[in-house]
Structure 1
Amino acid sequence: MTSVTRFLAVYGGAFFLSATGADAQQQFGWATQFDGLAVYQGNAGLSGGGQFSAERAFVRGGAFYRFDSGASAGLFLSYGQFSYDFSFAGNQPWDRIRDVRISAPVRFSVGNSATVFVSPQIRWDYEDGASSSDGYTYGVFAGITWQVNPKLRIGPAFGAFSELGADGTEVFPALLVDWDIAPRWNLSTGTGLGATQGPGVILSYQHTDALSFSLGARSERVRFRLDNTGLAPGGVGEDRSVPVVLSVDYQPNPAVQVSAFVGAELDGRLTLDAANGAQISRQDYDTAPIVGFAARIRF
């Protein structure tokens, strides 16, 4: 990767721990939220020769309902598109990728201090020209946290997702944390907009009521179905990396937040598999600079 979907997840706060963000801003009833993200990744050299860059955009919209009990349930639809530009025309494993997903996050309390989070999800990741149904996967991310003290909420979580071009289900553990480690400082995890797997980690500093700074990182991997032309007709592409992002977040009121960020993708790797599952190529890529902008509106 570097799928666009990953970056808001890195710096955008703890989705599960904050109950989808807008949920925390009201007592009960319906709330609506829209997110947008645009990212540019600069040139990165490939171990097999040449280099590539990428441009990405992602939008999400949805609504959820908070009950008098404090429980909440929602439905979100998101669409992402990202384009890869490879310097060698003969080494162009894929071009433009689409990412469509539907999620239905649910949160409810158990006892006086525990909160359960469940977010089932279905996805379609595919190259332009491929059938969306061939890029279909599904899964769930779930966890439980306890309010240990007024400054710390923590608990275990797990993800279970099907994978393109692979049998069985990938299951991975995670840890959910929301910890006010010092005045104005917070350490948290969360999936955020477009996260492909479990939570990343975000260290944030609240400079003023409206202005904050954060440093986030996560391990990311995205797989997508390829079209019936190119180097691997009907095969599967994979992009994985570790994005690290420094963000400036401005929130003039509870309904609007805008962010600008810069960072880098570390330990990147592109993999190309044939339709029968055999690996055709695997290329590491150099650290890639990234820069972008994100916005969120709630009402």
Structure 2
Amino acid sequence: MKTFTLACCSTILVLGMMTSPTFAQQRLGWVYQIDGLTAYQSNADLSEGGEFSASRAFLRTTALYNLNGGTSVGLSASIGRFDYNFSQADNQPWEDIRDIRISVPLRFRAGNTASVFVSPQVRWDYQSGADAADGRTYGVFAGIAWKLSESLTIGPAFGAFSQFEDDDIDFFPALLVDWDINDRWNLNTGSGIGATQGPGLTLSYALNDTMTLGLSARSERIRFRLDEEGLAPNGIGEDKSIPVVVSFGYNPNPGISLNVFAGAELDGRLTLDDANGTELSRQNYETAPLVGVAFRARF
């Protein structure tokens, strides 16, 4: 359940699915997109002893149909994998985590200056060996943004998602913003693959027409169902952190982008719950360096 923007990260970074509303002229008809990410978090000390590292890989495909009047509807599917490596066998709550997502993004105009974005989603987050159905959650991310000027689009958004515990709903507010501060500086909520707490925030600087530098940050929280073995059979794992990265982007044309990034995960915490959601253990981890690369192809 983690996510990224094309310069942001999740417990390790996951490229873009929550694009902020824009009023730029779009090509009518079908538009297809493939994007992906791979990233590595190096060893971080755990408060309960030992250390761990992690690697991430994600791939997403999207088909979007653009209509007249700024309306679009699409279908997006992604698959990801989180590999955790713990140094101590007695402090190894989980290992291989799978992430599968399907969403139906919809965008339409509301008046002359407003754009509404709604994306119903279904997710499966589970440890290899667990039943995928036990890791299923669903919800929606939605927002509205107004084009206040040629350089500023802004508005509120929210996310509401079910939890593994029967009646729990995870609700969080977010802000959609796309602000061209001047010809080179831009502040935006970006676009990402699989975000958990809504879009992060990216400040970017255009070096020239094809290269950019960016600074991104977000709050991330991923929860997943565990298998029948291990420290908490059929339990729930959680990894929470605040990743901050610096990125370099290369965009040789409007359809291709490549980003490399490096940074750190701050204020990290691992939580282990039993099958009923009762907390069994909680341990913090030290600042964790991370690096990675992400790409996007649109045609």
TM-score bucket of the superposed structures, by smaller chain: over 0.9
CA deviations over 1:121-166 (Å, ceiling 9, x no partner): 0000000000000000001010101111111111111111111236
Structure-2 change in CA distance of 1:162 and 1:13 (3 Å): closer
- Structure 1 spans left out of the alignment, 5+ residues: none
Equivalent residue number for residue 219 of structure 1: 219
Which TM-score applies when normalising by structure 1?
Answer: 0.94
Q: Secondary structure at the match of 1:133?
A: helix
Measured in 2, the distance between the counterparts of 1:138 and 1:119 equals: 11
Give the AA of the match of 2:104: A
Give the AA of the match of 1:232: A
Contact 1:106-1:118 within 8 A present in 2 as well? yes
Give the AA of the match of 1:206: A
Measured in 1, the distance between the counterparts of 2:18 and 2:206 equals: 18
Q: Secondary structure at the match of 2:8?
A: helix
Give the AA of the match of 1:205: Y
Equivalent residue number for residue 69 of structure 1: 69
Contact 2:41-2:288 within 8 A present in 1 as well? yes
Pairs within 5 Å for 1:120-269: 120-165=120-165, 167-190=167-190, 192-269=192-269
Q: Given the alignment of the two structures, is residue 17 of structure 1 paired with residue 23 of structure 2, yes or no?
A: no
Measured in 2, the distance between the counterparts of 1:170 and 1:134 equals: 17
Give the AA of the match of 1:36: G
Give the AA of the match of 2:255: A
CA deviations over 1:184-210 (Å, ceiling 9, x no partner): 100011451121121110000111111
- Give identity over the alignment, percent: 60
Structure-2 change in CA distance of 1:80 and 1:25 (3 Å): farther
CA deviations over 1:41-65 (Å, ceiling 9, x no partner): 0000000010000011000002000
Residue 82 of structure 1 deviates from its aligned partner by: 1.2
Structure-2 change in CA distance of 1:133 and 1:221 (3 Å): same
Which TM-score applies when normalising by structure 2?
Answer: 0.94
Residue 78 of structure 1 deviates from its aligned partner by: 0.1
The Cα RMSD (Å) is 1.8
Pairs within 5 Å for 1:76-115: 76-115=76-115
Measured in 2, the distance between the counterparts of 1:236 and 1:155 equals: 34
Measured in 2, the distance between the counterparts of 1:142 and 1:182 equals: 28
Measured in 2, the distance between the counterparts of 1:183 and 1:130 equals: 50
Give the length in aligned residue pairs: 294
Equivalent residue number for residue 12 of structure 2: none
Range with greater deviation from structure 2 (183-192 or 230-239): 183-192
Structure-2 change in CA distance of 1:33 and 1:18 (3 Å): farther
Measured in 2, the distance between the counterparts of 1:165 and 1:129 equals: 20
Range with greater deviation from structure 2 (230-239 or 205-214): 205-214
Contact 1:217-1:245 within 8 A present in 2 as well? yes
